Structure 1
Amino acid sequence: MKLLGLHHVSIMTGKAEKNYEFFTKILGMRLVKKTVNQDDTKSYHLFYADAEGTPGTEVTFFDIPGLGNSYRGTSDISTVSLRVPSTESLLFWKERFIQYGIEHGEIEKRAYRDTLAFRDYDGTRIILVADNGEKGVRAGIPWHRDDIPLEHAIIGLGPVTLTVGIAEPTIGVLTEVMGFRFVGSYPSLEGDHPEILVYATGEGGTGAEVHIETRPDLPRARLGRGGVHHVAFRVPNEEEYDQWAQRLKDNRLPNSGKVERYYFKALYFREPNGILFELSTDTPGFATDEPMETMGQTLALPPFLEPRRKEIEANLRPLELN
């Protein structure tokens, strides 16, 4: 029983329209599902991914207009990353960010890979990571846009960084419960701080890593606009999902119990530093209720919310995504 890698990350946005513009028109990702937050149906939940909505390529956003800023600190998913094919791709993206006035850094080494950090309109800290032929979890299928060459397009999720005050409790859950393994470390780019530790699962590589940054000098983070709500990890099927539910119980980890999201099944729990983890099945996927060709074009509701469609639509603000 082994987690396959990263499944998705879920982030907070203060304005879905600008978020859609950034992730589709600037980053070139596909909106594969426009739906609602199932725990608060007055809020939109947008899913961006590769051409087919492949698990491990998904970045999702909860839309909360008027949401305040995030404040960096500990107990936080401090950065997320997106995979691109090569260092040459990073050069393309750097020029594109200059063209669109996007805040970004320089191409730098992180975990011995070429990377490029930038921020979206909400201030989310994102890093592009060059695969450069590295072995590991398979990449996704790039979504075609005329202004982004396929050889430079985004092809999935890369490592997430967890910033904590004390690393050992988080490492304990990753290795002893979730089956991650230590694969190395690299220097922090932000001064004289402990090296960042790298843990991997499944086939490893850019799509299967968690990086641990230890920063006891920082206060506890405050989640707001641009902050990462949770990170999810891939469970291949329902049989193993049931086994993971039992494993959390056996390890006495408080958790949500089994949650039916329709497009996948989920388990939620907080590791000892308070960061929210999710275990999500690869199946059944986003084409369950919409044809692959037209995913994301209309408001999709799972069957258990469909009887409330009129009520839900009446309570949603108008959302024009062009």
Structure 2
Amino acid sequence: MQKIQSQGVHHITLNGADRQTSIDFWEGVLGMPFVFDQPNLDNPREGHLYFDPGDGRLITVFTSEDRKPEARRLPNDPGAVHHIAFSVSHATFTHAKERLEARGVKVYGPKDRGFMDSIYFRDPLGLLVELACYRFEPPVGCTHADVMIEAHRQRVARGDYNIQEVHLAGAIEALVERRQQSLSADRSAKNPYRPA
């Protein structure tokens, strides 16, 4: 028996409302370019809109002119989608709540997640959406996941409840030391500010 190795999220498809509401939300609120449009090949009565969330991957939305926006809380049953999160820069994050509230959107947060900051709001159909801003940049050649797994190991070793910035800083230092070479025989911390 062997695994089927995934290599990233290909796309996420959501059931949307009508075409214009979907375009207005995904491109007009979240700034995702509308990049592709065709019928839903499994249901020709629906449209299938494609948006770029910023990393070249895709968020796709099935639309129908029979479905109008109705903001209601979606089921939170086992197996249901709880929320969908999108990465934003710190600069964008600092203005996101204000920009959403200017549209009359109720925003929850910001929430301190230790390794990131988040705000939450609902799309026009009630889907919970998170805007997340990492508190760190991974070292060259590393991913956010590389930093997170190393920070997790350091958190567990210290007996801390959740990941905090001290774990992130330690993780980044450890990753740089492992991945980047140095001519120094001793790469430990030093104090060049000792008294003369």
TM-score (norm 1): 0.39
Instruction: Decide which of 63, 72, 78 is 1:225's aligned counterpart.
Output: 78
Alignment check: 8 A CA contact 2:152 2:163 kept: no
Structure 1 residues 169 and 195 mapped into 2: Cα distance closer, same or farther (>3 Å)? closer
Alignment check: 8 A CA contact 1:263 1:286 kept: no
Task: In structure 2, list runs of 5 or more residues that go unmatched.
Answer: 137-143, 165-196
State the one-letter code of the partner of 1:166.
D
Partner of 1:259: 111
Superposed CA RMSD: 3.4
Q: How far apart, CA to CA, are the structure 2 residues paired with 1:249 and 1:293?
A: 35
Find the residue that maps to 1:177 and give its secondary structure. Answer: coil
Q: Could you report, residue by residue, the CA deviation over 1:134-154 in whole angstroms, capped at 9, with x for unpaired residues?
A: xxxxxxxxxxxxx55xxx732
Structure 1 residues 301 and 181 mapped into 2: Cα distance closer, same or farther (>3 Å)? same
Name the one with the larger strand percent.
1
Find the residue that maps to 2:94 and give its secondary structure. Answer: helix
State the one-letter code of the partner of 2:84.
V
State the one-letter code of the partner of 2:21.
P
State the 1:168 CA deviation: 2.6
Instruction: Decide which of 28, 36, 49 is 1:176's aligned counterpart.
Output: 28
The aligned runs of 1:1-322 (5 Å cut-off) are 147=2, 153-204=5-56, 206=57, 209-215=58-64, 216=66, 222-236=75-89, 238-284=90-136, 291=150, 294=153, 301-302=161-162
% identity of equivalent residues: 23
Q: How far apart, CA to CA, are the structure 1 residues paired with 2:161 and 2:36?
A: 42
TM-score (norm 2): 0.61
Q: Which has the larger radius of gyration?
A: 2
Task: In structure 1, list runs of 5 or more residues that go unmatched.
Answer: 1-98, 100-146, 305-322
Farther-moved stretch of structure 1 (291-300 vs 175-184):
291-300
Identify which of structures 1 and 2 has the higher relative contact order when contacts are C-alpha pairs closer than 8 Å and 6+ apart. 1
Count, aligned residues = 150
State the one-letter code of the partner of 1:198.
Y
Partner of 2:194: none
